[in-house]
Every structure is written in structure tokens, then in C-alpha cells.
């Protein structure tokens, strides 16, 4: 039987209500981050929640972790700023020590100094009330009207050693009060025409004032004075001094907590203090402030952030509502974490500690206690110690307490089970070591029916029926279904699941193990972490970074997988589930996963150490152990909707590497949504600032110039460089991916217009088009004119040529006719001679009428031919017969043909076709319609003329006729065909009609 101890051992090291201070994360900004000087003299939160910083060598604005340093004009040479205020118009006022007062309206500075009526150039404190700025100098108060900049200097100061140093202001019942360091408390009275300074109480020293809930807190040398305002006004001085150091500034947060910034001047008593119940509690260490020389403190109520300015180490930023806290826990290495009853359990390098609800350590069981319990067991137990021969991973019982290594703590029912390199310990609800098992294992668990599971390094698995008697069933490592190299165990309602580094997922049920990898149910082999979500689904992380959500309630199903490339970081360090969220730890921080969104929680939010050694979710908090203490993170806060970028402001623009004029900016922001340049100025550098978010390092950006363009690759520096943009109209759009909020937003930032050169402008194209159109029209008109002129000339030439051709025919016919008349006269045939002359005269009249026409109707042509044939036939004694035949489809009154076109061919018949011995001479003229626009005229005779003679005589008339057709119908390429035969001659003429 195993050794059991029911006594309270002296080696239980009890620590009652011992606690380590928890730290709120803070950031420290110095000159290395862009601050002009580490000596911070003033801090101010403006209406837009921006932090203004006045240093001994310049003024800065802190926006989203980035500093914008003010550039002073040449007329300002003193950059020391001791106070900052904003008036009701939104203008900023700066108190310069030795430079007077500067006011800034977003575009320019105005200087108000002694030359303009200021009481003294050594301005130390500013206060705004109604439309006035109250300036505290080293020689009294000046009052400046914000509308006119008129300066009034109230009388009534009481200089001490030549100075009257004003240290602070407050207002009570519409009256302005102020303190003078060496003189006490005063007020400004308007009972007369001019304001006067009246003393309220005298006391020394008054380095600062804080007025809250009718109580005046005044920083004195080494303590605080506390006055009730009513007593003070009634001159019933009742100071209640308390505290230490010299307080230089006060602020109260929305929780009504009063903070004080202190610098001891001659000692190291300074720091950040919390004032409560007339007590000053230093909280510098709690917030990670390492400077003892603090001069100012302000509170951003919108973001719940405290800013503290130091004389030597710049600014500290403290998130009061930050969900994360750090506990150094004496820099111990945290091995494992667990929740047990109402207590938190921390297994660490020096033992196991029990913490209460405030994280105070109630009790610790140290290394000596564990070693002593093991030693007593070995010394008193009669049971045989397990050895390697028995199949156990053997223990080294000589291991000293200082060499004990813990592996994990497991809660089961009312006990805690702690594994180590000296064995397994069971701790009961009384925080006592109850039992010891001489078993060396790295991972243990319990089945659904409460059987103890021991994973044996290189030796399989044991499932114990009675762990105290070491009665177990051994599952051989040589069985492929036996889990080996186990790193995680989780139970569902029905089964137990184990994950292996090399062999994938195993399940235990019905007293047997099964490998899902061997069964080819799930192919993932290298697994690292396992947990469950609120729905009972398994969440498993693989060695290579992917995380899977598994439903094993009925059948195996992969519900969701988060691929490695979506997880920020390379190595998974822990895996937890809370509500609908999965928390994946990596060397980069915590990936907060829900649905398809992944957010990142890292150093910027306060997780300064991502080398997590243990994790657990305890009472809505994520506990993370490290090698130096642990973090607690409020899960309710970090799963809330986070603030993200609300707008983007342009802070600088350079064109072709030359910054644009400052007049284009108002309050450091480009005051237009458009930028117009010519084509020669087309390279742009644009600096922008995202507004509205809390963690600038979580932002990455990309841009596009047109909605149809692809987005650029992501970048982290808020600067866009656009090189050699072609002339066009661009709409610069910036997309912001916020890893803190898990939100991607797009903003239309700037319309960039790059004007083209004049030869590419619309008006130039229009002018060019007009000129080209006018030129083309001019050319066309000229061509048309030339064409008309040419046609007219050609027509005249054609007419002249036709007339010439006609004139070639007329003399020959006239000669023949006159010979005939001569013959009639010689024969004294008066009757025939008269008839012939009459017909000849009529023919000549027709010839003269037709010779002026290019075309005549077929009717007129036939009439002309009939007269001609009659005259010619008389020479042959009217022996030659002829026929004129007309196709019935031809309209002889409308259809026209060339004038006297057929006469030469008929003349040729009379002249050459018939000899004197021809018995029956005759010829025929046919008019045929071959097509809608094609006319054929066929002239046929039965003459006996030889081909040679006919060709010789006909060629002249054919030539004349062909030339006429070529002039009148250029496209009629073959208008005349002649066929000679022994039976006569056939002439075929084709004309377009």
C-alpha cells in the first residue's frame, strides 16, 4: 500500500496574505521616439484628445504613437514651453520661459511678450476662463482677451525678493484664484473697472494647486497642504498637511482617483502618487515608472489613459483600463496554472502556491516539502519501488530538492496531481500533500470513468484500475493503436482523447485505444495542443501551426480549420478557448480568433513577454505563465468591440521631392481633398496619420488609385510614394487593416489630377479636329471644283470632238448627194432632180439639228435613217430593199442613242455591199432589248463584198463610231462586232441605255 500522510508537516511553508505588486503596462516615450527633449515641462489634452507636450526645447503633439514637432517661425527663438492651454475658439496657447506667450491658430503663431504689455516674459502657467487667458509669470498675472489679444495686468502683486512667481490657477464660483510660490493664495477681483489682485491667505510654499470637491491641495516643500475652500475664503485657515516630496501637478480620473506628480528636487522622494484619505501612496512601480523626477500629469478621459511627464526621461503613457496586468511573482518560472475551488494554483520552479481572489499568496508548498514527502515514502513504504525492468520510466531517488523539476498540475475531483522528476504527488483540499506515486511521467490524465492514465516515455500507456496500488493495464508501445509521445489529454462526454507529437490523435473508449491516423480518419500526425470549447468540441493545434475544431460527439468531423498562414507567428505556445473565441499563443503574441477574423494582442497592448510557459482560463481571465512571473488578461474586455481608425488625415505632401507650401495646411492637416498638378510635376510623397485607434503598430496599409485597380501590397509606414504618374484623374484610396480591432476600413483620401500637356488636352484636340476638318473640307471642295472643271472641260472637248467626228461624215455624204443631183441635171430629169433636192434639203436640216446633240431618241434616229436611205437608194434606182424592226419592249420615244450613230454603217452598205450585178440587194436593221439597260442594234445585208475590201472601207466609219462610244460610254469596252461572210455582212452594236 502506498504511503499516505494525514499529518501537518513542518515542511509546509505557509505564506499568509503575501502578495507581489501587480503592474499595469506602460509606455515610455523619449527623444529616441521623436520627442524634442526629455525634460517635459507641460502636458495638455486638447478637445480632439491629442496630447500636446511642452519641453525645454520644443513642442510636440503625440498622435497614435507618433510625434509631430512644431516648426516655429523665425521671430520665435525661445523654444522652452512651461505650459499649454486651449481657448474656447480652439486656438492653442504656449507659455515660454523667457519668451512670453505664443498663440497658434492652426496656421500661424502670434507672439505676446513684454513689448506688447505682458507682465513678464518668464511665463510659467496658463489658465483659460470665459474669453480670457490668464498668464502666470514671475512678476504677476496678465489677462489676455482671446478676441483682440489686448493685455491687462491686474494690480496688487506682492513681490518677494523682486519676484511674484505664479504657480497655478483654479476657478470657484466664477472667480479665478491663483497661487504664488512664496506668498500664498490670491484671487482676481472685478469689483472695479480694472481687475485687481486680492490676497486670500498667506503661506509658504505653494508649488502647485489641485482643487477637487471643494478641497484645495497645495504642493509644499516635502508635504501637501490640504485646505477646505470655505474655510480658506472665510480666512479660517485649517491646513491638514500630509504626504511627502514636492507635488507639481494633480489630476483626477473618471474613477475619482486623484493622482499627483512629484519631484523631490533635493532627494529621491519623487514619483507618481495616489492621494486617498489624506494619504499619499506611491504607485510608480505599479505602473512601471522608473523616473523620480515627475513634473506633470494629465488624464485622457476618452481613452482612459494617464500621461506623466518627467524632467529626465520623457513621457509615460499608462492605460488605466488596460485589460492586462503583470505580476513578477519574484521572477519565478511558471510551470502550470489551475483553478481550484475559489483559489488559483500556480506551479512554479520553487513549488506550488495558492492565491486568493486578490491574487495574494495564501500558502506555498516548497521544494523541501515535496522532497521530504518522497523521502518519507521511500523510507517507510513496504511496497517495491517500480524499476525499468517492471516497464516503468525509472526515477532517480537521489535527486536533491534544488534539482526538482515540475511538469504539470492536474485537478481531478477534490485533489491536485503534481508531476515531477521525483514522482507524482496528490494534494488534498486542505493544501496538504496526501499521496505519492513513485512514477516518472511527463503527461497524466483521467478517463471518463476516473481511471488514471500514465503515459510512459518510450514505453506505451498504463490505465490504472487502482492507482494507489499501482494496478494497471499496460498497452504496449508496439501496438500501432497505443498512444506514444503524448503531449495533451482531453475528455469529452463519452471518450478520452490524446494527442501525439508524431502519431496524431488517439481516442480511448470501451477500455481500448484507437489511432485515428491509422484508421485514416484524420491525417494530421504532428500535434501539439488540445483543449475544448463551450460546445464540447475539441480544438487541436498541430506542430506546423494549423488549428482545427473537431466534432467527435457522433462521428468525426472537422468543423473548422485555421490555416497556418492566417495565424500571426510561427510557433504555437498555448491554446485556449473562451465563449466563441479561440486564443492561439505564438512568439508574436495572442491570436484572438472568431469566425474568419483574427486579432493580435501583443507587446503594444502590454504583453511584454510572449515566451509563454503555461496558460489557463480562470474566472473570465486568461492567465499566462512566463519564465519571470505571469500575466492576467481580462477576457471580457479584450473580446469587446475595439476602437479602430475613423479617418485619415494628410500631414505632408511633396511634389517632385519639394514640400508644398504650409499655407495648404490647417492644424497640420492638408486642407483640401484635391491636388492638381501639371504633367511635369507627377511624383508625389504623401504622409498621412490614421485617427481614432489606440495601437498604431497594429495597423498596416495599402492603397489604390482607381476603383478598378488592384490594391498595393501592405506596408506599415504611413507614407505613400507615387512615382511618375501619367496624366489622368486619380482617387487615392487607403485601406487600413487593424489587427487590434480585427477590422479593415477603406478611406477616400485625395483626388489627384495630373493635367496633360497642352497637346493632350481636350481643347487642343478640339482645335486640331476643327483645323483638320476645315483642311479636309477645303481639300474636298477643291477636288470637287477641279473635278467639275475637268468634267466641264472634258464635256466641251467631247462635244467638240463629236462635232468634229460628225463633220468628218457630212462632207462625204454631201459630195455623193451633189453628184447625184448633177447626174439628174445632166440627164435633164427635172422632176426627180426637184424631189431629190427637196429630200436632200430636209436631210441636211435634220443633220444640222442633230449635230448639236450628243444623243437622240430611237424614233428620231429612225426618221433620219429613213430619209437618208431614201436619198441613197435613188442612186441605185430604188433597187435596194430594207427593213427596220423594233423590239416591242423598246420605248422608241424615250430611249436615246448617240446622234447619227447608225448612218455610217448604212452608208457603208450602199457604198460597198452591192455591185451592179446583184439581183436582190437588201438589208435589215433590228433594235433588240437584251437587258434592262442593254440595247443591241443588228444591221444585216446580203451583199457579196469580199472581207478584205469591206474591212478596208468599213474601218474608217467603225473607228469614228468606236471613238464616239468611248467618249460617251467609257465602260462599254467592246461595243461593235462585225461578221463578214459570203452571204453578207452582219454588224452588231451594243449600247448602254
pLDDT in tens, 19-36: 455 788 899 999 999 999
Strand order in the sheet with 433-437: 406-412, 415-420, 423-427, 433-437
pLDDT at residue number 798 = 63
In contact, 102 and 116? CB cutoff 8 Å: no
Tell me the C-alpha distance between 188 and 176, whole Å.
6
Phi, psi of 508 (to 5 degrees): -120, 125
Only one residue has cell 470549447, namely 533
Q: Which three cell numbers stand for residue 262?
A: 512629484
pLDDT at residue number 945 = 56
pLDDT in tens, 544-553: 879 999 999 9
Tell me the C-alpha distance between 341 and 343, whole Å.
6
Q: Which three cell numbers stand for residue 695?
A: 495601437
Give residue 748's Cα distance to chain centre.
10
- The pLDDT of 112-139, averaged and rounded, is 96
Residue 459 pLDDT more than 60? yes
Tell me the C-alpha distance between 558 and 273, whole Å.
54
431 contacts: CB under 8 Å, gap ≥ 6: 12, 354, 362, 363, 365
CA dihedral 618, 623, 625, 629 (to 10 degrees): -110
- The pLDDT of 566-576, averaged and rounded, is 95
Domains parsed from the chain with CATH numbers:
27-324 (2.130.10.10), 333-569 (2.130.10.10), 647-757 (2.60.40.10), 763-992 (3.30.565.10)
In contact, 176 and 187? CB cutoff 8 Å: yes
Residue 417, CA distances (Å) to 59, 183, 409, 465, 485 in order: 60, 69, 6, 17, 20
Helices and strands, number each (H, E), in the chain: 8, 73
List of E strands, 572-718: 572-578, 581-586, 589-594, 597-601, 614-618, 621-626, 629-634, 647-655, 658-659, 665-666, 669-670, 674-678, 684-691, 699-704
Work out the end-to-end distance of the chain between its first and last CA atoms, rounded to an integer number of angstroms.
Answer: 136
Give the rounded percent of residues in the chain with a pLDDT score beyond 90: 69
In contact, 48 and 55? CB cutoff 8 Å: no
pLDDT in tens, 52-103: 999 999 999 998 778 999 999 999 989 999 999 999 999 999 999 999 999 9
Tell me the C-alpha distance between 444 and 34, whole Å.
53
Tell me the C-alpha distance between 179 and 658, whole Å.
49
- Residue 854 burial (CB < 10 Å; 0-12/13-18/19+)? middle
Residue 427 pLDDT more than 90? yes
Q: Which of 178-187, 473-482, 689-698, 869-878 has the least mean pLDDT?
A: 869-878
**Sign of the C-alpha dihedral computed for residues 835, 840, 843 and 849 taken in this order:** negative
Tell me the C-alpha distance between 170 and 767, whole Å.
72
pLDDT at residue number 450 = 93
Only one residue has cell 462521428, namely 555
- Residue 341 burial (CB < 10 Å; 0-12/13-18/19+)? exposed
Helix (H) or strand (E) holding 956: helix 947-968
Predicted confidence band at 917 (pLDDT cuts at 50, 70, 90)?
A: confident
Strand order in the sheet with 208-212: 208-212, 215-219, 224-228
- Return mean pLDDT, the chain: 90
Candidates 424, 428, 437, 419; CA nearest to 363 is 428
Tell me the C-alpha distance between 594 and 789, whole Å.
88
CA dihedral 127, 128, 132, 134 (to 10 degrees): 0
Give residue 810's Cα distance to chain centre.
98
- The pLDDT of 294-305, averaged and rounded, is 95
**Sign of the C-alpha dihedral computed for residues 182, 184, 189 and 192 taken in this order:** negative
pLDDT at residue number 6 = 39
SS (H, E, C) 446-473: ECCCCCEEEEECCCEEEEEEECCCCEEE
Give residue 682's Cα distance to chain centre.
22
**Runs of H (alpha helix) within 747-829:** 762-826
What is the radius of gyration, based on Cα positions, of the chain?
A: 58
Tell me the C-alpha distance between 275 and 295, whole Å.
16
Q: Which of 2-6, 43-47, 783-787 has the least mean pLDDT?
A: 2-6
Helix (H) or strand (E) holding 958: helix 947-968
pLDDT at residue number 162 = 87
Per DSSP, the residues of 398-411 read T--GGG--EEEEEE
Residue 954 pLDDT more than 60? no
Residue 727 pLDDT more than 60? yes
84: left (phi over 0), alpha (psi -120 to 50) or beta: beta
Tell me the C-alpha distance between 844 and 840, whole Å.
6
66 versus 150: which is more confidently predicted? 150
Predicted confidence band at 10 (pLDDT cuts at 50, 70, 90)?
A: very low
Please list the residues that pair with 410 across neighbouring strands: 417
- The pLDDT of 900-907, averaged and rounded, is 85
Residue 473 pLDDT more than 60? yes
DSSP helix, strand, coil percent of the chain (3-state; round to 5): 20, 40, 40
Tell me the C-alpha distance between 796 and 803, whole Å.
10
Candidates 99, 57, 109; CA nearest to 80 is 57
Give the rounded percent of residues in the chain with a pLDDT score beyond 70: 94
Which own/partner contact pairs does 550-553 have at CB distance under 8 Å and 24+ positions apart?
A: 550/522, 552/492, 552/495, 552/497, 552/507, 553/492, 553/493, 553/494
Give residue 860's Cα distance to chain centre.
92
pLDDT at residue number 11 = 38
CA dihedral 317, 320, 321, 326 (to 10 degrees): 90
Q: How many residues does the chain have?
A: 993
Tell me the C-alpha distance between 338 and 345, whole Å.
5
pLDDT at residue number 159 = 87
List of E strands, 105-156: 109-112, 123-129, 132-137, 140-145, 151-152
In contact, 110 and 149? CB cutoff 8 Å: yes
Q: Which three cell numbers stand for residue 20?
A: 507581489
User: pTM to 2 decimals?
Assistant: 0.75
Tell me the C-alpha distance between 670 and 666, whole Å.
6
In contact, 683 and 656? CB cutoff 8 Å: yes
pLDDT at residue number 804 = 54
Phi, psi of 773 (to 5 degrees): -65, -45
In contact, 987 and 905? CB cutoff 8 Å: yes
Give residue 77's Cα distance to chain centre.
42
> How many C-beta neighbours within 10 Å does residue 727 have?
15
Q: Which three cell numbers stand for residue 155?
A: 494690480
- Residue 917 burial (CB < 10 Å; 0-12/13-18/19+)? exposed
Q: Angle at the Cα of 918 (from 916 to 919), degrees rounded to 5?
A: 125
Amino acid at each position: 500500500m502506498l504511503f499516505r500522510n494525514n499529518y501537518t508537516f513542518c515542511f509546509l511553508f505557509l505564506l499568509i496574505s503575501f502578495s507581489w505588486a501587480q503592474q499595469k503596462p506602460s509606455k515610455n516615450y523619449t527623444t529616441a521616439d521623436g520627442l524634442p527633449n526629455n525634460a517635459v515641462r507641460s502636458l495638455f489634452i486638447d478637445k480632439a484628445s491629442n496630447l500636446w507636450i511642452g519641453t525645454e526645447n520644443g513642442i510636440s503633439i503625440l498622435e497614435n504613437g507618433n510625434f509631430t514637432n512644431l516648426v516655429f517661425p523665425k521671430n520665435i527663438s525661445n523654444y522652452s514651453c512651461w505650459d499649454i492651454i486651449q481657448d474656447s475658439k480652439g486656438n492653442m496657447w504656449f507659455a515660454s520661459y523667457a519668451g512670453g506667450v505664443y498663440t497658434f491658430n492652426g496656421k500661424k503663431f502670434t507672439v505676446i511678450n513684454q513689448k506688447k504689455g505682458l507682465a513678464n516674459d518668464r511665463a510659467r502657467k496658463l489658465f483659460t476662463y470665459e474669453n480670457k487667458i490668464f498668464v502666470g509669470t514671475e512678476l504677476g498675472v496678465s489677462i489676455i482677451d482671446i478676441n483682440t489679444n489686448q493685455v491687462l495686468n491686474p494690480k496688487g502683486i506682492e513681490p518677494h525678493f523682486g519676484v511674484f512667481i505664479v504657480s497655478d490657477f483654479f476657478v470657484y464660483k466664477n472667480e479665478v484664484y491663483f497661487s504664488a510660490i512664496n506668498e500664498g493664495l490670491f484671487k482676481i477681483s472685478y469689483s472695479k473697472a480694472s481687475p485687481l489682485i486680492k490676497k486670500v491667505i498667506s503661506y509658504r510654499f505653494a508649488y502647485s494647486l489641485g482643487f477637487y470637491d471643494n478641497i484645495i491641495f497645495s504642493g509644499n516643500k516635502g508635504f501637501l497642504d490640504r485646505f477646505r475652500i470655505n474655510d480658506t475664503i472665510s480666512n479660517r485657515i485649517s491646513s491638514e498637511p500630509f504626504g511627502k516630496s514636492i507635488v507639481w501637478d494633480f489630476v483626477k480620473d473618471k474613477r475619482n482617483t486623484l493622482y499627483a506628480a512629484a519631484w523631490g528636487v533635493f532627494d529621491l522622494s519623487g514619483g507618481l502618487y495616489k492621494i486617498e484619505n489624506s494619504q499619499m501612496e506611491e504607485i510608480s512601480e505599479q505602473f512601471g515608472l522608473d523616473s523620480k523626477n515627475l513634473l506633470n500629469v494629465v488624464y485622457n478621459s476618452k481613452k482612459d489613459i494617464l500621461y506623466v511627464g518627467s524632467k529626465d526621461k520623457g513621457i509615460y503613457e499608462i492605460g488605466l483600463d488596460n485589460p492586462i496586468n503583470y505580476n513578477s511573482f519574484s521572477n519565478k518560472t511558471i510551470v502550470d496554472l489551475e483553478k481550484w475551488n475559489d483559489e488559483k494554483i500556480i506551479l512554479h520552479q520553487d513549488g506550488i502556491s495558492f492565491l486568493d481572489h486578490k491574487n495574494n499568496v495564501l500558502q506555498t508548498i516548497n521544494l523541501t516539502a515535496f522532497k521530504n514527502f518522497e523521502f518519507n515514502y521511500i523510507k517507510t513504504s513496504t511496497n517495491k519501488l517500480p524499476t525499468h525492468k517492471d516497464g516503468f520510466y525509472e526515477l532517480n531517488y537521489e535527486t536533491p530538492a534544488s534539482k526538482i523539476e515540475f511538469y504539470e498540475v492536474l485537478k481531478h475531483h477534490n485533489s491536485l496531481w503534481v508531476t515531477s522528476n521525483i514522482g507524482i504527488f496528490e494534494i488534498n483540499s486542505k493544501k496538504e500533500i496526501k499521496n505519492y506515486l513513485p512514477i516518472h511521467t511527463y503527461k497524466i490524465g483521467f478517463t471518463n470513468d476516473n481511471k488514471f492514465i500514465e503515459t510512459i516515455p518510450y514505453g506505451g500507456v498504463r490505465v490504472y484500475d487502482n492507482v494507489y496500488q499501482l494496478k494497471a493495464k499496460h498497452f504496449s508501445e508496439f501496438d500501432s493503436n497505443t498512444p506514444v509521445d503524448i503531449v495533451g489529454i482531453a475528455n469529452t462526454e463519452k471518450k478520452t482523447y490524446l494527442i501525439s507529437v508524431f502519431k496524431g490523435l488517439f481516442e480511448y473508449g470501451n477500455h481500448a485505444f484507437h489511432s485515428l491516423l491509422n484508421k485514416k480518419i484524420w491525417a494530421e500526425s504532428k500535434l501539439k495542443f488540445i483543449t475544448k470549447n463551450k460546445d464540447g468540441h475539441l480544438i487541436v493545434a498541430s506542430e506546423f501551426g494549423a488549428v482545427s475544431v473537431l466534432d467527435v460527439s457522433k462521428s468525426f468531423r472537422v468543423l473548422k480549420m485555421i490555416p497556418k498562414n492566417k495565424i500571426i507567428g510561427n510557433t504555437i505556445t498555448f491554446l485556449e478557448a473562451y465563449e466563441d473565441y479561440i486564443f492561439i499563443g505564438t512568439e508574436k503574441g495572442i491570436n484572438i480568433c472568431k469566425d474568419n477574423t483574427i486579432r493580435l494582442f501583443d507587446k503594444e497592448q502590454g504583453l511584454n513577454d510572449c515566451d509563454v510557459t503555461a496558460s489557463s482560463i480562470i474566472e473570465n481571465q486568461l492567465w499566462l505563465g512566463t519564465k519571470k512571473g505571469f500575466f492576467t488578461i481580462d477576457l471580457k474586455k479584450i473580446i469587446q468591440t475595439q476602437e479602430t481608425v475613423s479617418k485619415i488625415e494628410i500631414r505632408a505632401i511633396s511634389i517632385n521631392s519639394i514640400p508644398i507650401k504650409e499655407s495648404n495646411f490647417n492644424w497640420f492637416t492638408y486642407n483640401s481633398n484635391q491636388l492638381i498638378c501639371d504633367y511635369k510635376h507627377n511624383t508625389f510623397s504623401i504622409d498621412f496619420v490614421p485617427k481614432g485607434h489606440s495601437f498604431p503598430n497594429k495597423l498596416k496599409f495599402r492603397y489604390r488609385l482607381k476603383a478598378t485597380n488592384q490594391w498595393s501590397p501592405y506596408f506599415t509606414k504611413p507614407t505613400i510614394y507615387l512615382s511618375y504618374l501619367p496624366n489622368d484623374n486619380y482617387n487615392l484610396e487607403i485601406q487600413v487593416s487593424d489587427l487590434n480591432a480585427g477590422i479593415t476600413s477603406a478611406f477616400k483620401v485625395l483626388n489627384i489630377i495630373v493635367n496633360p500637356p497642352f497637346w493632350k488636352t481636350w481643347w487642343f484636340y478640339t482645335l486640331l479636329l476643327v483645323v483638320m476638318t476645315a483642311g479636309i473640307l477645303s481639300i474636298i471642295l477643291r477636288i470637287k471644283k477641279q473635278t467639275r472643271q475637268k468634267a466641264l472641260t472634258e464635256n466641251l472637248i467631247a462635244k467638240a470632238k463629236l462635232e468634229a467626228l460628225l463633220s468628218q461624215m457630212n462632207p462625204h455624204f454631201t459630195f455623193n448627194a451633189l453628184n447625184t443631183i448633177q447626174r439628174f441635171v445632166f440627164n435633164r430629169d427635172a422632176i426627180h432632180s426637184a424631189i431629190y433636192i427637196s429630200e436632200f434639203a430636209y436631210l441636211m436640216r435634220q443633220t444640222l439639228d442633230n449635230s448639236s446633240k450628243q444623243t437622240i431618241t430611237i424614233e428620231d434616229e429612225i426618221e433620219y435613217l429613213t430619209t437618208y436611205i431614201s436619198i441613197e437608194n435613188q442612186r441605185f434606182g430604188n433597187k435596194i430593199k430594207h427593213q427596220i424592226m423594233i423590239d416591242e419592249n423598246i420605248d422608241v420615244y424615250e430611249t436615246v442613242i448617240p446622234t447619227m450613230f447608225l448612218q455610217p454603217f448604212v452608208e457603208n452598205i450602199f457604198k460597198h455591199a452591192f455591185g451592179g450585178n446583184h439581183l436582190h440587194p437588201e438589208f435589215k436593221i433590228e433594235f433588240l432589248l437584251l437587258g434592262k439597260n442593254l440595247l443591241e442594234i443588228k444591221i444585216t445585208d446580203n451583199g457579196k463584198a469580199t472581207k478584205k475590201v469591206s474591212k478596208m472601207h468599213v474601218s474608217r466609219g467603225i473607228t469614228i463610231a468606236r471613238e464616239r462610244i468611248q467618249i460617251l460610254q467609257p465602260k462599254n469596252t467592246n461595243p461593235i462586232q462585225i461578221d463578214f461572210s459570203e452571204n453578207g455582212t452582219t454588224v452588231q452594236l451594243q449600247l448602254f441605255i
